[in-house]
Amino acid sequence: MYHGTAHTVGAHIDTDAIIPARFLVTTDPDELGANCMEGLEAGWIKKVKKGDIMVAGENFGCGSSREHAPVALLGAGIPVVIAHSYARIFYRNGFNMGLVLLEIGDDVSKIHDGDELKVDADTGVIQNVTTGTTIQCKPVPPFMQGILDKGGLIPYVQDRLAERA
């Protein structure tokens, strides 16, 4: 269960907005996190508390396939993104890095900047505490949940390999 404040951003947010190329000189999550969304708005990250939730429009994470983008969000303390929809490679990279990604289509309009949200990734239920509404998205399939539970694709593969050995 995740519990945090919603931070809304618009549609077609590209990976350059999430983490501009000039910050790609490192792969350190904390350093990347400190510059998260710097390509959208200078100092954006200052309004975020650890555990807060990103809420985005259509096609979140489009553009370059850099794996640094989901790492920056995680490094910024954002464990969950809720979006209308995702760009394909970002979606994969996000899951692989252990970021929870929920896709809710037009229901995204039911969440406003600053709303208090509770997210149950297992059941796919998003509770908007501020407005008293509930949004049901497709639960993350057990297989994907397994990757998240392990902390991302690298530890997941480590475990799978150990099982096979």
Dihedral through CA 142, CA 145, CA 146, CA 147, nearest 10?
Answer: 140
Q: Please check whether residue 103 is in contact with residue 55, taking contact to mean a CB–CB distance below 8 angstroms.
A: no
Query: Which residues does residue 133 pair with via DSSP β-bridges, in sequence order?
Result: 128
88 binds other proteins (CB under 8 A): yes
- Measured from the CB atom, the residue of 46 and 165 that comes closer to other proteins is 165
22 binds other proteins (CB under 8 A): no
Residue 44 identity (one-letter amino acid): W
Show the tokens assigned to 32: 């990347």
15 binds other proteins (CB under 8 A): no
- Measured from the CB atom, the residue of 39 and 86 that comes closer to other proteins is 86
Please state the closest distance from residue 113 (CB atom) to other proteins, in A: 25
* Residue 1, SS3 per DSSP: coil
Please state the closest distance from residue 141 (CB atom) to other proteins, in A: 5
Please state the closest distance from residue 96 (CB atom) to other proteins, in A: 5
* DSSP summary character for residue 46: G
Distance of alpha carbon 122 from alpha carbon 58, whole angstroms:
23
Question: Which helix (H) or strand (E) covers residue 69, if one does?
Answer: helix 68-75
118 binds other proteins (CB under 8 A): no
The number of residues in the chain equals 165
65 binds other proteins (CB under 8 A): yes
Site size for other proteins, by CB under 8 A? 25
Among 16, 67, 107, 116, binds other proteins (CB under 8 A): 67
The count of other CB atoms within 10 Å of the CB of residue 27 is 10
- Measured from the CB atom, the residue of 4 and 75 that comes closer to other proteins is 75
Interface residues toward other proteins, by CB under 8 A:
59, 62, 65, 67, 85-89, 91-93, 96-97, 138, 141, 143-144, 153-154, 156-158, 160-161
